[in-house]
Amino acid sequence: MAADPEGEDGEWSALVRGDPGARERLAKQAHAVASAELARRGAPLAAREDLVQEVVRSTLAYAARGGPAPKDLATFLKFRSWGVLSDHRKRLRRAPPMLSPTTELPDNDRGPERVAELGQLRRALAECVERLSPEQRSAVVLRYQRQLDSTTIAAELGLHRNTLHVRVFRALAALRECLARKGFGVEDLGP
Amino acid sequence: MSKLRPEDQARCVEYIDGELDEAAQLEFERRLAHEPELALAVERLLATDRVLREQLLAPTAARRRPWSLAVRLVASIAAAAVLFVGSLLYFARERSRVAFVASHESPLEALASAPELRLLRPEGLSALRGSQDPPNISAEDFLRTEAAAREREANSALKSAVSSGEAGFFRIALELDEASLVYVHATTRDNKPVVLESGPLRLSAGRHELPGPRFSVDPNQPGVLRYDRGYLVPVGCGELTVVLAILAPGHELQHWPDTSELSGQPRELGGQGAEVHTLVVREPR
């Protein structure tokens, strides 16, 4: 979505001043961006409207608290949607392991071409992981294969959490580049 | 490689992991709306993170052909025969013992699996257990009791040389007569590698449980117990073949055979001076 910084800043400032019309317009835009973004990110259908409402609520609350106007409101709302979805997934992970109406189910509907494509991707990924430095590989294995959280991984590797996060960032960047060289653009493999 | 400052790189990972509180999250999102390079880095990070979570955790299930059961049966018998002969050949110089031990997804299931742990509600584990019941044992006493229960379980598994089983998560009981270098390698039924350890493990002589203790005190949160589920059997893999190659100190594997040659691997690794153990873990149906 194209941003109109001047107009959005105006709405944002008007909202901070208490203009009810501005609140309604901002809410409408937040709803539209969040609906599209959460659908794109594969948010579970049953929970999607609640998540959209949470994006709207937190955005309006942030503006009302006097939070500085984002330069590009559409980008802000897009990432706000991710933040809300990420929190939702975190809550699900903490919940007891049972199916609920909002649990995302795996997609088992895979044709032979998709199966073959995934096989190639996994082989490429395994080769790329092998090429990481031992330090980066350890972080990736503990994070994705063992599914440990950052606190546990940092303790296991004897690292400060920030150091671990930098290592993870660089490992993922290296994997992305390696996969791209093998013909797999991670952005094109979207949900 | 990204030109972002290290503190921004760390922040990006905290953000995609949902580790920021709402205020910090909103502030970071405002920055993303101002800094296209930062936004691009987060987009790329999210995409790569998603691919890794999907692909490293969920190998494709092998499509079954009508004759695959018979072929697998014959292959299993042949493999068993090879392993039997192999074990006879290596028996004389065996310096390690290995066994499969089933593990559990949640700490609650782990507690329920041992009679002496079933009724324990250790301090510091309530958040994980999701229970409102008050604790009835200190974390230290619980760890002692739990270690004794696991010791007995590992003894039994090692004594019976349990080399296969069905589990979603598993551990490996290992007894070494001398300090050793231990390589752990796994492949799915269709020969896809599964990374269990990032490199060889340098272990002292004695008893070990891989990948590590089930319960331990969180070093960053004193008084809080954390639970490690063990190795994951990837969803849809059907069966995982785990090969452990154990070398005496001062030796290293010259090479690990290609995964497509897995069936010939034990002999190959033995040729490199390694003691080899194979475990088979079946995915629960």
Work out the minimum CA distance from A138 to partner chain B, whole angstroms. Answer: 5
The per-residue pLDDT for B8 is: 95
Same domain, B107 and B49: no
- Classify residue B213: in a domain, yes or no: yes
Contacts of A176 in chain B (CB under 8 A): 44, 47-48
Name the β-bridge partners of A18.
none
Residue B154: what are its φ and ψ, rounded to 5°? -65, -40
Same domain, B134 and B260: yes
pLDDT band at B72 (very low <50, low <70, confident <90, very high): low
Contacts of A88 in chain B (CB under 8 A): none
pLDDT band at A112 (very low <50, low <70, confident <90, very high): low
Element at B108 (helix H, strand E): helix B107-112
The predicted model gives B140-167 an average pLDDT of 87
Same domain, B21 and B114: no
- Classify residue B222: in a domain, yes or no: yes
User: Residue written as tokens 């609640």?
Assistant: A50
How many domains does the structure of chain B reveal? 2
Interface of B with A in 184-213 (CB under 8 A): 192-199, 211-212
Same domain, B49 and B104: no
Same domain, B43 and B110: no
Provide CB contacts within 8 A for B156, sequence distance 6+: none
Same domain, B35 and B109: no
- Classify residue B35: in a domain, yes or no: yes
- Its domain, for residue B117, covers 96-282
User: Residue written as tokens 């205020």?
Assistant: B23
The per-residue pLDDT for B148 is: 86
- Classify residue B82: in a domain, yes or no: no
The answer to whether the Cβ–Cβ distance between B192 and A121 falls below 8 Å is no
Asked if ipTM goes beyond 0.85, one says no
pTM of the model: 0.52
Same domain, B39 and B134: no
- Classify residue B76: in a domain, yes or no: no
Same domain, B100 and B187: yes
CA-to-CA separations, B228 to A9, A14, A102, B14, in angstroms, rounded: 48, 51, 26, 22
- Is the preceding omega at residue B200 within 30 degrees of 0, hence cis? no
C-alpha torsion A43→A105→B167→B120, nearest 10: 60
**3-state SS class at B178:** coil
Same domain, B50 and B104: no
The per-residue pLDDT for B123 is: 79
Structure confidence by residue, pLDDT tens digits, B159-204: 888 889 998 899 999 999 888 888 888 888 877 778 788 777 888 8
The per-residue pLDDT for B7 is: 95
- Classify residue B75: in a domain, yes or no: no
* Contacts across the A-B interface (CB distance below 8 Å): 178
- Classify residue B36: in a domain, yes or no: yes
On the question of pLDDT at B93 being above 60, the answer is no
Same domain, B37 and B167: no
Percentage of chain B exceeding pLDDT 90: 16
Structure confidence by residue, pLDDT tens digits, A90-103: 776 654 433 333 33
- Domains of chain A with CATH codes: 7-93 (1.10.1740), 107-189 (1.10.10.10)
Cβ atoms of B54 and A109 closer than 8 Å: no
Same domain, B143 and B204: yes
pLDDT band at B274 (very low <50, low <70, confident <90, very high): confident
- Classify residue B68: in a domain, yes or no: no
Tell which of B195, B196, B197, B228 to mutate to test the A interface (max A CBs under 10 Å): B195
Element at B232 (helix H, strand E): strand B231-232
